[in-house]
Amino acid sequence: MDIQTISKGPFEGQKPGTSGLRKKTRVFMEPGYLECFVQATFNAIGGAEGKTFVMGGDGRYFNRPAIQTMLRMAAANGAAKVIVGQGGLLSTPAVSNLIRQRSTDGGFVLSASHNPGGIDADFGVKYNVANGGPAPENITQAMFEQTQSIAAYYTLDTADIDLSAVGTATVGPMTVEIVDPVTDYQALMETLFDFGKIRALFEGGFTMRFDAMHAVTGPYATAILEETLGAPAGTVINAVPSEDFGKGHPDPNPVWAKTLMDEMMSDTAPDFGAASDGDGDRNMIVGRGIYVTPSDSLAVLAANAQLAPGYTGGLSGVARSMPTSAAADKVAEHLGLAAFETPTGWKFFGNLLDAGKVTLCGEESAGTGSDHVREKDGLWAVLLWLNVLAERDQSVAEILTDHWGRYGRNYYSRHDYEAVPTEAANALMDGLRGRLDALAGTAAGGLDITGADEFSYHDPVDGSVSHNQGLRIWFAGEARAVLRLSGTGTEGATLRVYLEQYAAPGADHGLSPDVALEKVRDAVVELTEMQAHIGRTEPDVKT
């Protein structure tokens, strides 16, 4: 075994509280950088001796060499076995599933999610624990502490192994099992959904476009939608993972999946459109002529999940992140289900899922999932929609209209202000924070303010408390604004403003979101003194 000492000084990069590391690819490629993060992770979990891990990534630039490095390090750290996806590929939900199915000690996902890939773009590594979910806070804290003091890592001087074929190999004394990335994941999907019903839907002429965005869901969607469910060839587009995602952002929203959006809004639109991100955990759902916001998608799935075999017993509860719209709460209220509001970030759903308190959960940022794994799952959401469409025999537009008629419509939009100078963003947030207590009873943007606070989460399972999770302002007429700073941005600060306006059943559900949300938007601009702080009031991206 080789012990490499690090001479370039203390490793920096990991932020406290994150289960992974996302950086420029060239930074990850600096000698010792990836190695230090991986060694810090092994150290933080009490070593790798005798353990089994899952490993795979989204196919972006540096995926394959990074896996070879990590395999050598796992072997040098005494791991017994690593299960790797063929070609180094595994989606995030597939890693979560393999960890659970094979009862491994944990797993590594190599991805920077929806960020672009390439030598001049982004790379990332995250660590998931034995329940299949992102590392919880005690481990991320230990990882952070390790990265601050690490001075050596362990590796072997061995050749790369061939990951191109399914089978077994060895790295030093360690076994490597190379698995088809799709098989176990597809088997899980077949237990949850009525594949026969969905096949019949396609046989009946139902048309669909799935945009894999040159990322990891290409092989999954092709195998499941085309080869198993009988959707015609060409249903899945951009299906071959490429190292730079075809030079695009593998981010499934109306901005980055514009080609798909344009097709879905055209005269020749198929019945159903969907897309997933780099590592396959996010989803976008769009019907012919109608975009479904992730918040609405969660609510529709919560209201209809029992139509799919995996959920016939009903749901134990529904959870959403705080900035996500209250559409899912309306469904929970009607169905008498428990509803939970968690901070932004998937890791907060883990305890609720493990404790059986919720079956479905989701975020406004295009993440939806259930207790089948411990990550959000893009293709799962698409298959649940397909199962619902097959059972209800209605279009996406009809299902949404019907849903709003029953539960009301939560108009919703997120406005992102990117690359804001950090001090300016902090000053804007601090300014508002300082006035929160005085806001109730005043008015802004022509709306009466009924309350305001800073969100703290009390985990009902382990009793832990997470503070500073976003500023919330409520207005008369069931409107709400939320402000928080992104934890995943790479340049300056990203200010996220989440706008919501409820329209009860029977109210006008045909407005454009911009019109419905105008007053709330104006209120935020006024209350934050946005122009004075950041020199603009128009966001870079609206989703």
Residue 486 lies near ligand G1P (rule: CB under 6 A): yes
171 vs 175: CA distance, rounded Å: 7
543 vs 524: CA distance, rounded Å: 17
Q: In the complex, what is the shortest distance from the CB of residue 365 to ligand G1P, in angstroms, rounded to a whole number?
A: 3
Residue 281 lies near Zn ion (rule: CB under 5 A): yes
Q: Which range in 126-134, 221-229, 299-307, 487-495 contacts ligand G1P by CB under 6 A?
A: 487-495
171 vs 173: CA distance, rounded Å: 6
Binding partner at 346 among Zn ion, ligand G1P, none, C-beta below 5 to 8 Å by kind: ligand G1P
Residue 466 lies near ligand G1P (rule: CB under 6 A): no
The DSSP secondary structure of 342-378, one letter per residue, reads E-SSGGGHHHHHHTTS-SEEEETTTEEEETTSSS--H
Q: Which is nearer to ligand G1P, 11 or 457 (CB)?
A: 457
Binding partner at 370 among Zn ion, ligand G1P, none, C-beta below 5 to 8 Å by kind: none
11 vs 32: CA distance, rounded Å: 9
Work out the number of other CB atoms within 10 angstroms of the CB of residue 165: 9
Nearest Cα to 441, choosing from 486, 418, 473, 463? 473
Q: Which is nearer to ligand G1P, 86 or 469 (CB)?
A: 469
Rg (CA), the chain: 23
Residue 22 lies near ligand G1P (rule: CB under 6 A): no
Amino acid at 63: N
Alpha helices in 77-182 (DSSP H): 92-101, 137-149
Q: Which is nearer to ligand G1P, 98 or 112 (CB)?
A: 112
Q: Which is nearer to ligand G1P, 349 or 385 (CB)?
A: 349
Binding partner at 226 among ligand G1P, Zn ion, none, C-beta below 5 to 8 Å by kind: none
- Side-chain-facing half-sphere of 301: CA atoms under 13 Å: 31
Residue 488 lies near ligand G1P (rule: CB under 6 A): yes
Distances (CA, A) of 339 to 238, 320, 371: 37, 8, 15
Q: In the complex, what is the shortest distance from the CB of residue 117 to ligand G1P, in angstroms, rounded to a whole number?
A: 16
Q: Which range in 149-157, 312-320, 484-492, 504-512 contacts ligand G1P by CB under 6 A?
A: 484-492
Residue 169, beta-bridge partner list: 176
Q: Which range in 266-274, 279-287, 295-303, 479-487 contacts Zn ion by CB under 5 A?
A: 279-287
Amino acid at 209: R
| Matching residue, tokens 């061995």 | 158
Q: Which is nearer to ligand G1P, 342 or 501 (CB)?
A: 342
- β-strands 447-454, 167-171 pairing: unpaired
318: tokens are 């529904």
Burial track 386-420 (b if 16+ CB lie within 10 A, e otherwise): bbbbbbeeebbeebbbebbeebbbbbbbbbbbeeb
Q: Which range in 22-30, 135-143, 175-183, 280-288 contacts Zn ion by CB under 5 A?
A: 280-288
Residue from 107, 132, 345, 369 touching ligand G1P (CB under 6 A): that is 345
Binding mask 92-121 for Zn ion (x = CB under 5 A): ---------------------x--------
Give the number of residues in contact with ligand G1P, rule: CB under 6 A: 13
The active-site residue out of 19, 91, 111, 113 is 113
Residue 413 lies near ligand G1P (rule: CB under 6 A): no
- CB-neighbour burial class of residue 327 (10 A; exposed 0-12, middle 13-18, buried 19+): buried
Give the number of residues in contact with Zn ion, rule: CB under 5 A: 5
Q: Which is nearer to ligand G1P, 39 or 140 (CB)?
A: 140
Length of the chain: 543
460 vs 340: CA distance, rounded Å: 9
Residue from 63, 147, 155, 344 touching ligand G1P (CB under 6 A): that is 344
Residue from 105, 211, 251, 279 touching Zn ion (CB under 5 A): that is 279
Q: Is 51 helix (H, G, I), strand (E, B) or coil?
A: coil
Q: Is 93 helix (H, G, I), strand (E, B) or coil?
A: helix
Q: In the complex, what is the shortest distance from the CB of residue 527 to Zn ion, in angstroms, rounded to a whole number?
A: 32
Residue 365 lies near ligand G1P (rule: CB under 6 A): yes
Q: In the complex, what is the shortest distance from the CB of residue 299 to ligand G1P, in angstroms, rounded to a whole number?
A: 17
Long-range contacts of range 311-315, CB-CB < 8 Å, 24 or more positions apart? 311/192, 311/359, 311/370, 315/358, 315/359, 315/360
Contact 508, 429 (CB under 8 A): no
Q: In the complex, what is the shortest distance from the CB of residue 90 to Zn ion, in angstroms, rounded to a whole number?
A: 13
Q: Which residues in the 104-123 window bind ligand G1P by CB under 6 A? A: 113
Q: In the complex, what is the shortest distance from the CB of residue 76 to ligand G1P, in angstroms, rounded to a whole number?
A: 31
Residue 346 lies near ligand G1P (rule: CB under 6 A): yes
Active site residue 113: yes
Q: Which is nearer to ligand G1P, 316 or 488 (CB)?
A: 488
Binding partner at 487 among Zn ion, ligand G1P, none, C-beta below 5 to 8 Å by kind: ligand G1P
391 vs 194: CA distance, rounded Å: 9
Q: In the complex, what is the shortest distance from the CB of residue 467 to ligand G1P, in angstroms, rounded to a whole number?
A: 16
312 vs 321: CA distance, rounded Å: 25
Residues of the shown chain interacting with Zn ion in the complex, contacts defined by CB under 5 A: 113, 277, 279, 281-282
The residues carrying an active-site annotation are 113
Q: Which residues bind ligand G1P (CB under 6 A)?
A: 113, 321, 344-346, 363, 365, 367, 486-489, 496
